Amino acid sequence: MKVEEKSLEGKKFKSRKVLLGASIGIISIILAIIISNLICSLPIFINSDYCIVIGFWDRIVAGFLTTMWLYGWSLMFGFFLGLFLALLRQYGGSIFSQGATIYIEFIRGTPLIAQLFFIFYGLNIPIENWNILTEFTIFGKEITFVFLNHRILFGIMALSLNSAAYQAEYFRGAMMSVGTEQLLAAQSLGMSRVTAIRHVILPQALRRVIPAWSNEAAYLPKYTVVVSLIGTTELFGQAKTIVSNTFISLSTYIIVAIIFLVTIAIVSKGLDLLHKRTGIPGL
């Protein structure tokens, strides 16, 4: 009998892929810096608006890293909290289900800015002197990257709490689409509901949710822009400082837009691949 053995290798393979992806990301950022600076060193381009903005590439890179930082954590926290909310709403019994529903509807029914301001100004959490940062130099320019201060923390909180509500609904839809018949079959084997949900419903729901969930993965990078309103210097916040220094707004925002476009295209493509990879054979 020769079954299995593949799964362990699969996991190693995945973590190697993540590392590979991250290093490709860093390499392409560096390549983008080099190439744009090379082009801008050509005499015909040197005084164009774009090249003046690209002269501030250190701020753009710092902003981009902060945006990705906000995005990554929010998407991840939103994922787990959203999954939890979806489970409560779908299988939690009437009280928990109603609680989850109220949360989801409240978040989806109010503006993100209001939620962010409520957390930032409304909750008086005294952590204003938190500041964990790193400084590094590439190509002679010093870049400051803040891991954690109160703005980043509140930003991630607001984005996660917001994203969770949307993600919860994607998860719930996927769980419903797996159907009660699968649950019945699992229970007929003597599985408890929790075991059945964990081993039968979730593995299928999480596969099915990827195409719909990629919506949230594509929305969220753009939502991080809102966090610039509490003074976080993510990509959009940095763009504003570049504009106030140079008075070149169109080119600056076009560059920002292109960065978002490319990032989200890569995320979408990655999720597409993940969907294909995790697809159930024959389905």
Partner 1 sequence: MSEPVIRVVDLWKSYEDLEVLKGVSFELAEREVKVIFGPSGSGKSTLLRCINMLSPPEKGDIFLRGQKITEQGVNLNKVRTRLGMVFQHFNLFAHLRAIDNVSIGLRRVKGMNKDEAQAKAFEALNRVRMAQWVDHYPAQLSGGQQQRVGIARALAMEPDVILFDEPTSALDPELIGEVLQVMLDLAKTGTTMIVVTHELGFAKAVASEMIFLGEGTIIERGSPQHFFVSPKSEIVKKFLKQLEVLYGTHEELLKPPDKENY
Q: Which residues in this chain contact partner 1 in the complex, by CB under 8 A? A: 1, 3-4, 181-182, 184-192, 195, 199-200, 203-204, 207, 280-283
Least CB distance to partner 1 at residue 271 (A): 18
Least CB distance to partner 1 at residue 94 (A): 18
Least CB distance to partner 1 at residue 205 (A): 10
Decide the pairing of beta strands 141-149 and 131-138.
antiparallel
Least CB distance to partner 1 at residue 207 (A): 7
Instruction: Please state the separation of Cα 169 from the chain's center in Å.
Output: 17
Structure tokens at 128: 């204003």
DSSP β-bridge partners for residue 135:
144
Q: What are phi and psi for residue 137, nearest 5 degrees?
A: -120, 125
By beta-carbon proximity to partner 1, the closer residue of 132 and 280 is 280
By beta-carbon proximity to partner 1, the closer residue of 1 and 38 is 1
By beta-carbon proximity to partner 1, the closer residue of 144 and 180 is 180
Least CB distance to partner 1 at residue 199 (A): 6
By beta-carbon proximity to partner 1, the closer residue of 88 and 200 is 200
CA distance from start to end of the chain: 25
Dist CA 251 CA 257 (whole Å):
10
By beta-carbon proximity to partner 1, the closer residue of 2 and 12 is 2
Handedness of CA 17, 22, 23, 24 (dihedral sign): positive
Question: Which residues 6+ apart lie within 8 Å of 144 measured at CB?
Answer: 62, 133, 134, 135
Structure tokens at 51: 């090249």
Structure tokens at 223: 């939502």
By beta-carbon proximity to partner 1, the closer residue of 91 and 117 is 91
Dist CA 134 CA 69 (whole Å):
13
Least CB distance to partner 1 at residue 203 (A): 5
